[in-house]
Amino acid sequence: MTEPSYQTEDVLVYDDVLSSGSFSKLFQHLGGLDYRSVHHSGWRKVWRLHDGDPLRSTTVWYWPGEREKAETGTYPTGSAIDELISWVADREADIAGVVGHGGVEWVRLSFTPWIYPAGSGLSLHQDGSSYSGAFTYFAHQEWRLHWGGQLLVLDPRTRSRQASPSEIGRPFLDDRQESLRAFEPGFALAVFPKPNRIAFLSPTALHLLTRVDPNAGQAARLSVAGFFHRSA
C-alpha cells in the first residue's frame, strides 16, 4: 500500500499516484474535454474579483458499492479518469482520518477537472458543512517553482480565531478583518502542485490557491478536484 508523503490533522498528501502511462493518458483525456468559466452563470464569490477566471469541466460522480453503475456522468466512465477514481476509492480506509468514513460521514464523491490559467487563483475559504473532506489531484505534466498555484493550508490554530461571517463581513469586498485573523498566528503549510500528486483536506481546513504567475505562460495548472459529499 502506498504510504503518504505528508500528513497532519488537516492534510494528507500522496505522490506518484498513477503509473507514468496512466498519468499521460489522463493528461490527454483532460486536455480533450470542454471547459467553461466558473462564473458562466454568475459571480461565484468564493473566487474574489482578483482571482481571475478559472475553467471547469463536467463532474464525474462515484458512489461506494456501485462500481458497475454505467449512467452518464458516473463511474465507471470508460475513460482515463476511472483509474484516478479507483485509486481514491481503494484507499477509503487510509484517508478516513482526514476526510471521513464512506457511508457514515460521506455518501458520494465528485471529480471535477479544472484549469487555472495564468492570473487565476482561489482566495481563502473553508469547504463548508456539506462536505466531510476535499481533494486536489495535480494533472499537469510539468510545474516549476515560480509558476505559482500553490495550495496554502493555514495553521490549525487559526480556526479558533475565526469569527462568524457576519463578524468578518464580506471578504470578497473587504478582506481587512479576514487578513487580521489569518495573521494570528500567521502561518500556513505550502503544498506545491507537483505533477501526479494528490492532496486531501479536512472540512475545517482554511486554505487558498495562490495565483498562477505569468511566468507559467501557457502551462496552465491542470487538476482534478472534488469533495466527499455528506448525505442531503
**67 — alpha (psi -120 to 50), left (phi > 0) or beta?**
alpha
pLDDT for 65? 74
**Does 127 fall in a domain?**
yes
Examine residue 76 and say whether the peptide bond preceding it is cis (omega within 30 degrees of 0).
Answer: yes
Residue 100 lies in a domain: yes
Residue-level pLDDT at 110: 98
The b-or-e profile of 192-220 (16+ CB within 10 A means b, else e) is ebebbbbbbbbbebbbbbebbeeebeebb
| Within a domain: 94 | yes
Q: How many domains does the chain have?
A: 1
> What is the strand order of the sheet 188-191 is part of?
122-125, 207-209, 151-154, 188-191
Low-confidence ranges of the chain (pLDDT < 50): 67
Domain extent, residue 93, equals 6-156+166-203+212-225
User: Is 65 contained in some domain?
Assistant: yes
Find the CATH number of the domain harbouring 58. Answer: 2.60.120.620
Is residue 116 one of the residues assigned to a domain? yes
> Is the CA virtual torsion 104, 106, 109, 114 positive or negative?
negative
In the prediction, which pLDDT does 201 show? 98
Q: How far apart are the C-alpha atoms of 180 and 183, rounded to whole Å?
A: 5
Rounded Cα gap, residues 85 and 194, in angstroms: 19
> Does residue 61 fall inside a structural domain?
yes
Rounded CA separation 91/5 (Å): 15
pLDDT digits (tens, 9 = 90+) for 172-230: 899 998 999 999 999 999 999 999 999 999 999 999 999 999 999 999 999 999 999 99
Cα gap 9→181, rounded to integer Å: 21
In a domain, 231, yes or no: no
Q: Is residue 232 part of a domain?
A: no
**What's 159's DSSP letter?**
G
All 3 cell numbers of residue 96? 478516513
